[in-house]
Amino acid sequence: MSEQSVKDIEKINTLNTEQIVKYRNVTKSFGDFHVLKGINLDIYSGEKVAIIGPSGSGKTTIIRMLMTLEEPTSGDIIVDGKNLWKMKRNGTSIPANEKHISELRGNIGMVFQHFNLFPHMTILENCMVAPIHVKKEDKKEVQERSIQMLERVGLGNKLNFYPSQLSGGQKQRVAMARALVMRPKIMLFDEVTSALDPELVGEVLEVIRDIAHNDDMAMILVTHEMDFALDVADKVLFLDQGVIIEQGTASEVLEHSKNERVQAFLRRFRKI
């Protein structure tokens, strides 16, 4: 075998054969209300996945369960080869304890619709607090990295500002920097532009695009920006009433879908 082809195989191995996240028959109910009905989903290292679908279809719930903000009613979520919500003890499977969850949660970062920055900290402190306290990293090193990250999202000149002094778009960029300095393997974005004034959407999408093209972490983006999804996503899922009714490449789902419900959704979207 030539050296080149060995390298290619290695590349394929690291890029495509390793599933960083697996959903297996995952369901979620709030009381009698079945929000998710058997989700099966594979996400590979470095893959960029967009989730689209009508309001209330369960998009947010899918990623909140991965962030451990919501516990699945049944099924398994596997992160980096380990079951997120269950652990083994004496050969039997029991609900995961906080230590187990926290170990796996360290792989995951999330950016929220409403930013959720810490209002009592400057934006630099917002970025530094978790690496220092959670990962126990060196303060100086964290500070340098945080400044770099804030510069990357275009806020290097506002390090000592408080969130209340920033625009929505700036806040959302800080929120991304804060998640990025934790160096997650998977980043979750829940409609991160939908709380923004239209003229601020562009600057935030630009940062995500930059991350998507230059960083090798996996990303799951819940979004209503179809053109943006077409641009950055390797894979698009269409969710309707708690079921993934179509998945494929961005172009397959967004441009050439044969599914009537997907077409109807996209048509409605184009009209708006």
Partner 1 sequence: MGYVLKKSIDIFNVKLSKRENSHSGLYGQRKYKLLKSLLQSISRYNQVTIVYSSTSRKGMVNISTAIEMIPQLTRGLAVTISVLIASAFIAYIVAFIAGLSKISKSILLRKFTGVYVEVFRGTSLIVQLFWLYYAIPMLFNIQLGSNWWIGVIAIGLNYGSYMSEVVRGSILAVDKGQIEASIALNMTRYQRMRLVILPQAIRMMIPDFGNYTIQIMKATSLVSLIGMRDILYYGDIMRSSNLSQAPLIYVVVLLMYFILALPFVWLTRKGESIAKKGVASQ
Q: Choose between 177 and 204: whose C-beta lies nearer to ligand ATP.
A: 204
> Per CB under 6 A, does 35 bind ligand ATP?
yes
> Per CB under 8 A, does 30 bind partner 1?
no
Judged by CB under 8 A, which of 6, 12, 15, 69 binds partner 1?
Answer: 69
* Cα–Cα separations (whole angstroms), residue 111 to 69, 99, 185, 221, 232: 13, 23, 14, 10, 17
Contact map string, positions 203 to 242, toward partner 1, x by CB under 8 A: ----------------------------------------
> Per CB under 8 A, does 178 bind partner 1?
yes
Tokens of 157: 């000149």
Judged by CB under 5 A, which of 46, 47, 53, 60 binds Mg ion?
Answer: 60
* Distance (Å, whole) CA 73 – CA 71: 6
> Per CB under 8 A, does 133 bind partner 1?
yes
Question: Residues with Cβ < 8 Å from 34, sequence gap 6 or more?
Answer: 27, 28, 242
> Per CB under 6 A, does 46 bind ligand ATP?
no
Judged by CB under 8 A, which of 87, 129, 230, 245 binds partner 1?
Answer: 129
Contact map string, positions 57 to 96, toward ligand ATP, x by CB under 6 A: xxxxx-----------------------------------
> Per CB under 5 A, does 193 bind Mg ion?
no
Full DSSP string of 5-67: HHHHHHHHIIIII-EEEEEEEEEEEETTEEEEEEEEEEEETT-EEEEE--TTSSHHHHHHHHT
* Distance (Å, whole) CA 171 – CA 163: 6
Q: Choose between 37 and 158: whose C-beta lies nearer to ligand ATP.
A: 37
> Per CB under 8 A, does 136 bind partner 1?
no
* Distance (Å, whole) CA 36 – CA 141: 42
Q: Choose the binding region for ligand ATP from 56-64, 78-86, 167-175, 250-258 (rule: CB under 6 A).
A: 56-64
> If contact means CB under 5 to 8 A according to the sort of partner, which of partner 1, Mg ion, ligand ATP, none does residue 35 touch?
ligand ATP
Q: Choose the binding region for Mg ion from 55-63, 102-110, 157-165, 203-211 (rule: CB under 5 A).
A: 55-63
- Burial class of residue 70 in the structure, from the number of CB atoms within 10 Å of its CB (0-12 exposed, 13-18 middle, 19+ buried): middle
First to last CA, the chain: 55
Q: Choose between 122 and 259: whose C-beta lies nearer to partner 1.
A: 122
> Per CB under 6 A, does 56 bind ligand ATP?
yes
**CA nearest to 50, candidates 259, 203, 251:** 251
Tokens of 243: 């079921």
**190, 113 Cβ separation under 8 angstroms:** yes
Binding site for partner 1 (CB under 8 A): 67-69, 98, 102, 105-106, 108-110, 112, 114, 116-120, 129-130, 133-134, 162, 164, 178-179, 182
